[in-house]
Amino acid sequence: MARVFWFRRDLRLQDNVALNAAIAGSVDDGDKKVAASYIVDLNNFEKLKPIRQHSLIASLDSLGASIDRKLTIRHSRGLDDFANQLVLLAMSCEAKVVHATRAFDPAGIEEQNAVGLALKAEGIFLQLDDSAYAVAPGIVGKPDGSAYRVYTPFYKAWLNFASVPPVALSSKGYEWIEPLECMGRPAASDSIDREIRAGEAFALRTLDRFIERALSKYDEQRNRADLSGTSHLSHALAHGEIHPRTILVKLSNSNAEIVFAKEICWREFYADVLFRNPNSLDDYYEPRFAQMRYDKGEDAERKLEAWKRGETGYPMVDAGMRQLLADGWMHNRVRMIVASFLVKDLHLEWQQGAAHFEEFLTDFDPASNSHGWQWTAGSGTDASPYYRVFNPVLQGYKFDPNGDYVRKYVEELRHIDGPEVHEPWNLLAGYLHGYPQPIVDHAAEREEALARLAEIKKPVD
């Protein structure tokens, strides 16, 4: 009678409370066997772009190597089949308990509910422990129990709960088993021209390198797209290759470290907001923004496709979109710039941009993606005011002051030296290599965006 551990978005061994519970249970049972499992829903996997597919494959490969290739990967089609695969796995090793980390996003909750019911029908218990967060969604609240709508008071309250230390992998004697045939890592739909490094060991090395390389100047350099001033831990956090506790315990009280901890808290704030408002995954948190006039039709679709390809004619926007296509990642400051351009220059709904990000981002997190977009669109909790319209040219000069970031990703502009790359229209040779003209006039579209905002403002009492 073994215990089954169902890996989800916690693809690691250390600081894994639910995994330790499975190990402890196996020892208490006297069997001392743990069946490690991961279920792939091929319907969802096949919707992803190759770079996201390879990202998951790399994470699973690393996890399997860390447990002597005893990770049982099973394939499924749809939620019922997904749940049945775990039932089959549990029954094959006569397990009475399946352990997993609790999810708090809508899809994760639906998944664990389906699995729990399917297991219960066979007399098997699904035990859910811990979360992917330093503080689980739903815990931080106002004194009256209601949710915080604004980040800063949430952060201050979050600090009261966020000091829980990480836990080491249990040292109790146990054995990994593989009771069913492993179907193997899923096959990507296409190859990619870059190596994706992933896994728990790589995440821990990345954290150590970040502390040595950039943490002391994080508060000053995190917004610079041309510098390596961020942690590069977002992929590891999204896949659960590292837990936030493991990161937070290494931080002190310098200004730079406090700013970095606040970025961890932003992730947890958005998770809390989504947990309490599951409809905000793809609907407006602030309902009145659904009434705003957004562009539709052939011209809108043409502009959307130009934005996706990184061919808007605005170098900072195009560099970010091409970075997404090439690397499956985009600098956070640039995410704000391209999001503002989509919503306020092209007058398209934020959900269209969020869906595109979901296809490509190897660090995709449902709460951070939706509410990051809603922040820029002005429709979310603690949102940036809608009238704050990012100027893509000025943002380029400020956060890529010598133009190195643009030149890295926009091949047609590499012949332009220095910051002038942000305004190729001012140079005789600016369009020498076929870079597109701007698809809109930013100044005019800014005024249009503000006019549309005025239309939905509530009347003053």
User: Right CATH number for 287-456 from 3.40.50.2000, 1.10.579.10, 1.10.300.10, 2.40.360.20?
Assistant: 1.10.579.10
pLDDT in tens, 102-149: 999 999 999 999 999 999 999 999 999 999 999 999 999 999 999 999
* pLDDT greater than 90 at residue 461: no
Fold of 3-130: Rossmann fold (3.40.50)
CA 266 – CA 249 distance, rounded (Å): 17
Provide the pLDDT for residue 382.
76
Which residue, among 284, 267, 458, 292, has the nearest Cα to 380 in the 3D structure? 284
pLDDT, mean of residues 404-423 = 98
Question: Is residue 396 within 8 Å of 316, Cβ to Cβ?
Answer: yes
Domain ranges of the chain: 3-130, 133-166+200-276, 287-456
pLDDT band at 458 (very low <50, low <70, confident <90, very high): low
**Least confident window among 241-245, 380-384, 447-451:** 380-384
Token pair belonging to 384: 């940036």
Provide the pLDDT for residue 148.
94
Which residue, among 354, 360, 358, has the nearest Cα to 322 in the 3D structure? 360
Question: Is residue 157 within 8 Å of 141, Cβ to Cβ?
Answer: yes
pLDDT, mean of residues 414-431 = 97
pLDDT band at 459 (very low <50, low <70, confident <90, very high): low
Share of the chain above pLDDT 90, in %: 96
pLDDT, mean of residues 155-184 = 95
Provide the pLDDT for residue 104.
98
Q: Average model confidence (pLDDT) for the chain?
A: 96
Fold of 133-166+200-276: 1.25.40
Helices 151-158 and 255-276 pack at an angle, to 10 degrees, of 110
Residue ranges in 241-349 assigned as alpha helix (H): 244-248, 255-276, 298-309, 315-327, 332-340
pLDDT band at 385 (very low <50, low <70, confident <90, very high): confident
Give SS3 for 100: strand
Token pair belonging to 336: 């704000």
* pLDDT greater than 60 at residue 460: no
Strands 125-129 and 97-101: parallel
Provide the pLDDT for residue 24.
97
